[in-house]
């Protein structure tokens, strides 16, 4: 019964969010929500990797930037942006499959470092590459996405809402399926999971590819809204900070952790815009404080605080019986 109530509540909330632009909500709020849904999708997928698969992948910027460039460049050859969004996700997934050959040979901190350098390599490549010609087009000058200038904030809001909700549904399906049970076993102890017959490499690879695809689609939608992409922004470490903050603040390894964490991230992003030069430093300090004070995140902390009260209630009910 509780499950059906949750599904009905989710459906009603989604419908209301879909109708917000129709109700004439201010564009500023639509922009906040646009960023929230994009960051939520990225946070959910990083939680799938680091929180449930044991993969400390520090390369969200690689998937976001590569997908954004794929979408933008395809618009230059006449392919509609909505096809480019899916193509961007596919390009990110294929890239994840390609680099998995090398990075999956590493473990622990070596895997993290190996994935951390990937966005920087891509940044340097795209700083110099000009696939669609012109002295001021491509390379470090970046690209304008064609065919997106007529889109309103409502149009891109609906795209962001779609990928944000899809990431939540995808996480719910994965965590309740056999796939999710295998990931939980790997997270707890991959050696024991392997000895129990779980194909650790295959499950981690599937998680890596799925996360890359969803992050890629989210990144492509972000750059449809922005209408412009350049290497320093596309492959910036700020994408990693968004994923880290959303997951760690909310609660890593907790299904609803990124949802709560993303709310904080969006607030921080707009409040820290005035401190552009040191915003990453401030975010890093906030991340450090959260990890020291509440390593289980806000959702984990609330859950831990609620347990004693639940225990007292159960004891009282048993005494009454």
How many Cβ atoms are within 10 Å of 106's Cβ, its own excluded? Answer: 13
Residue 53 DSSP code: S
Domain range summary for the chain, segments of one domain joined by +: 25-239
- Tell me what pLDDT residue 307 has: 63
Q: Which of 12, 49, 321 is nearest to 212 (CA)?
A: 49
pLDDT in tens, 181-237: 898 888 778 778 888 888 889 999 999 999 999 999 999 999 999 999 999 999 999
Burial class (CB in 10 A: 0-12, 13-18, 19+), 312: exposed
In the structure, what pLDDT confidence band is assigned to residue 309 with cuts at 50, 70 and 90? low
23 phi, psi to nearest 5 deg: -75, -5
Task: Provide the token pair at 206.
Answer: 């599937």
Residue 20: how many other CB atoms lie within 10 Å: 17
Tell me, what's the pLDDT at 315?
A: 47
pTM comes to: 0.91
**Local structure of 104: helix, strand or coil:** coil
Ramachandran class of 21: left when φ > 0, alpha when ψ lies in -120 to 50, beta otherwise: alpha
H-helix or E-strand containing 228?
A: strand 228-229
How much is the pLDDT for 238? 92
| pLDDT for the residue 314 | 52
pLDDT in tens, 30-78: 999 999 999 999 999 999 999 999 899 999 999 999 999 999 999 998 9
What local confidence, expressed as pLDDT, does residue 16 receive?
A: 93
Q: Would you place residue 311 in the very low, low, confident or very high pLDDT band (cuts 50, 70, 90)?
A: very low
- pLDDT, tens digit, for every residue of 110-138? 999 999 999 999 999 999 887 666 555 67
């Amino acid at each position: 019964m509780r499950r059906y109530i949750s599904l009905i509540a989710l459906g009603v909330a989604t419908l209301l969010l879909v109708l917000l632009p129709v109700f004439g909500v201010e564009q500023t709020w639509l922009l906040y929500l646009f960023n929230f849904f994009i960051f939520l999708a990225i946070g959910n997928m990083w939680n799938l990797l680091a929180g449930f698969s044991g993969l400390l992948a520090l390369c969200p910027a690689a998937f976001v930037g590569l997908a954004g460039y794929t979408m933008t460049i395809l618009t230059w050859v006449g392919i509609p942006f909505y096809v480019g969004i899916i193509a961007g996700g596919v390009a990110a997934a294929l890239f994840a499959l390609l680099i998995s050959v090398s990075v999956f040979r590493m473990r622990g901190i070596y895997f993290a470092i190996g994935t951390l350098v990937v966005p920087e390599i891509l940044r340097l490549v795209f700083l110099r590459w000009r696939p669609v010609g012109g002295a001021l087009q491509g390379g470090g000058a970046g690209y304008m996405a064609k065919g997106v200038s007529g889109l309103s904030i409502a149009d891109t809001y609906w795209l962001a809402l779609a990928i944000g909700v899809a990431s939540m549904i995808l996480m719910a399906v994965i965590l309740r399926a056999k796939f999710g049970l295998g990931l939980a076993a790997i997270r707890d102890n991959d050696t024991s999971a392997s000895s129990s017959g779980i194909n650790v490499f295959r499950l981690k690879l599937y998680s890596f590819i799925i996360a890359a695809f969803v992050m890629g689609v989210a990144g492509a939608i972000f750059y449809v809204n922005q209408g412009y992409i350049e290497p320093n922004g596309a492959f910036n470490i700020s994408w990693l900070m968004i994923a880290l903050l959303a997951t760690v603040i909310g609660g890593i390894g907790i299904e609803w952790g990124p949802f709560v964490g993303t709310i904080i991230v969006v607030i921080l992003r707009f409040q820290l815009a005035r401190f552009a030069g040191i915003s990453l430093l401030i975010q890093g300090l906030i991340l450090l404080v959260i990890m020291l004070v509440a390593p289980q995140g806000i959702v984990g902390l609330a859950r831990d605080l609620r347990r004693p009260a639940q225990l007292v209630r159960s004891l009282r009910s048993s005494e009454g019986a």
